[in-house]
Structure 1
Amino acid sequence: MARDLTQGSIPRHVVALAIPALFSMFAIVLNNLIDTGLVGHLGAAQVAAVGSAGFVVWLIFSIMDIFAVGTVALISRHVGAGEYEAASEKSKHIIKFSALFSIVFAVLGVIFSHNIYHMLHLAPDVERMGRIYLQIIFLAAPSLFIAETIGAIFRAMGDTTTPMIVMITAVGTNIILDILLIYGVWIFPRLETMGAAIATSTAHTLALGLGFYFVLKGKIPFRILPSIKGKIDFSIIWKMVKIGLPTSLASINFSFVYLAMTRIMSEFGTVAVAAIPVGNRAESISYMTCFGFYIAASTIVGQNLGAKQPERASKGAWITLGIISSITFIYGLAFYFFSESIPSILTSDPGVIKIAGSYLRIIAFSQVFMALEFVLEGAFAGAGNTLPPMIVSIPGTLIRIPLSYFLALKMGLGPSGIFWAITISTIIKGIAIFIWFNTGRWKTREI
């Protein structure tokens, strides 16, 4: 249900927003862990195929940030100001544009999947499995984009519970289909990596159907579904793009940096490449938690700025940051002391476990700084002021490429050099965005 964040206890609002968002994120983490575990027991080549597709999947979600971030900023302002008619009008045009854009995007993705994998210079069997996996994922892009846009409108209303229900249901379906299709259980064929892709795409489509269901049930107190007739108001789309694009560009930049780092890691063999997605999936419990609090900070800041309460917006951001910093400190301890126990849940390959364990041990030092980056980026996004996080994120992430090359290859640190490059850059970005947010200039941002 919708929540008025412009009055009442801020810590209570943070918890009420973050907990459902956390359940949603943990559902994604659980899905990723099970997905990786099921694929991981097929062999290193299959893990590398799905894992190397990770940068493209990240690219898809990065582009989707334009819709998600821009929508929350625009709609939450109107909700905070009590302007439901304006919120309705903007929602309709954004959803219609999301549908048209994602269809074109899906077609292009299917066509160019082969070219994407060819650039990675992977083993032929890894390239073949990865290409098929990616094409199936692209086919579900329209469902993913529209469902995420609808979810963003719910979050702008202060309702993170409905998106949680949608996510948990979709993830549960994905896990069941993973088991059936990857290994060929019961009457289903053994499809291995292709089965994982079909399960994921089916789950995205189910999420869209559930989103429509809750909208039609009146969970949002204003109309958001557009009619087929009528033109798109591109002035609204442009506002959304101006807000969401910097976040998207920063995330796309991350995707290409991931690609470059995968290329550097490939110098150490298929096992090293396979360790990257295993380590990332293990760490995902931390950054998904951060993302849950990102959502809380974004919505609280957006609604309170709409209600002309900038100091309450600022207080909400700092309280959110304090809570998540404590949580990520604990995660860091767990990653350091249980560095090899955690990846052993996801794969049985001893080489992958050793390298992924090294990854967790090193990135443990940067977890609190990652929380700084996530939550303050969310607060900036809620204010519609996404340029500062982009300015911090893009060069701060790009530096990972030369630093990884230098530490891993020139200094002879191997994969650990890449992991130290990630940790150092995360610490730098966290400190930089903290300083910028503390200036308070975002409080006067008009959108």
Structure 2
Amino acid sequence: MPRFTSMRILLSVSCLVACVSTRVLAQDNGVEQVANWQAYLEDHSDTSKYRLVFEWDHIHDATIFVDGVDGGRVYNAEDDERCNGDSSIVASDGQPYWMPRFFPRPVSAEITAITGVKFASADWQPCGHKEITICHAESHYDFHMYYEDEETMNSLPLCEIGVPSNPDLPVCRDSATSEINHDYFRLVNHSIPLTMSISRSAMETADATTLLDGVQKNFCVDASSAILRSGVHYGDASETLDEWKNPVTIIGSHNCELKFFEPMFSWKWASGCVTESETSWPVFEVANIEYTKKGIESLPDSWKIEVSEACKAQSCLPGQMDPPLSEVCHIKLSAEGTKCPPEGCTLLKECGNINDCSTALPYLSPWTDNDKDNVDNTVNETTSTPVITETVEPEPTSPLAVTEEVTTSSDAAVLVNGANSLLLVALTFMAFLY
């Protein structure tokens, strides 16, 4: 076997294992990018509602950035060769620049009982997502609030990964024959935002609490965004493709079930390098989210991101962003919604369809065994103990009609742990590459 091929396989296996085994890729070098983590509940004026708050310090020196030629920060990481899928250049943490950095963090049992959130992950994308349709290729945070525990997410079977421009990227593609891959494309049309209120730009108002109401959203599924052991992503393509001005709302699913709610914000926004005519900084708010229907009772109705003045870049020159004014940038993200009932929130498992972001037409899967997608009952899984409930046929609340419902057993998850899991991942991926 040629040396290059051998090195490529070793790099692929090491990247894949680091990415999917324990979600601690970026936590092994002492000083962490996501430091002084806090997750807590605040009192809400409405006792039926919760306010969930996350805070952390963004440590700039511990962050993997794509530096410009002169040491500045490039606006669009797509312009740098280190973000190419065929690049073998590694960053200071030993991983390719294009590999996501994961920072999973725990939440308390009280938070789970009240909000349904089982863990959070402040994930960092040094190169952005130039291979993903609805994401702009620039450094940003993907803040995932997961409604499954970390062990369950890490135990999802290994799919066949890769995209045409990068065979090592931990992305699952839909398949005509691989059910593991196709599970990411058993889609939902619940939990889809239809309208929301968002912050006005600083040029429009000096009051950061003033919102633009009734903003229509046109969510679609991005078939290029099915991240291994996370889920496929849904968003409004217009928010990210025409440059990236504001923080945005994303949701994700796997196998007909909501898996996460995701505020996403670029480092350009956090650095204060988006002009005042285009955004609100250092606070941006999303409120009054109206959904097709909720896939979990506690799905946030609103969220807000705040950054400290220390996050502001020393200068925002065209084509680059300088480091922030201070080494420690403080970030605070909050979400509000309806509290879970005393018996715990339930995750609705219900298949549907939605437009494909790349075609603006209903998503068309290559999957051929449609019989496996046509099971009659709905399973509700609580955020504490899974239970099967009586199925009630829901009336569609939008033009996104329900197309199918499926049922599974609560003990159907495959748990793969410890060293055996790592060995299985490595051997499977080696066999795939050969």
Same fold (TM over 0.5): no
Instruction: Give the TM-score of the pair, scaled to structure 2.
Output: 0.27
Select the structure that is richer in helix: 1
Select the structure that is richer in strand: 2
Higher relative contact order (CA 8 A, sep 6+): 1
Instruction: Give the TM-score of the pair, scaled to structure 1.
Output: 0.27
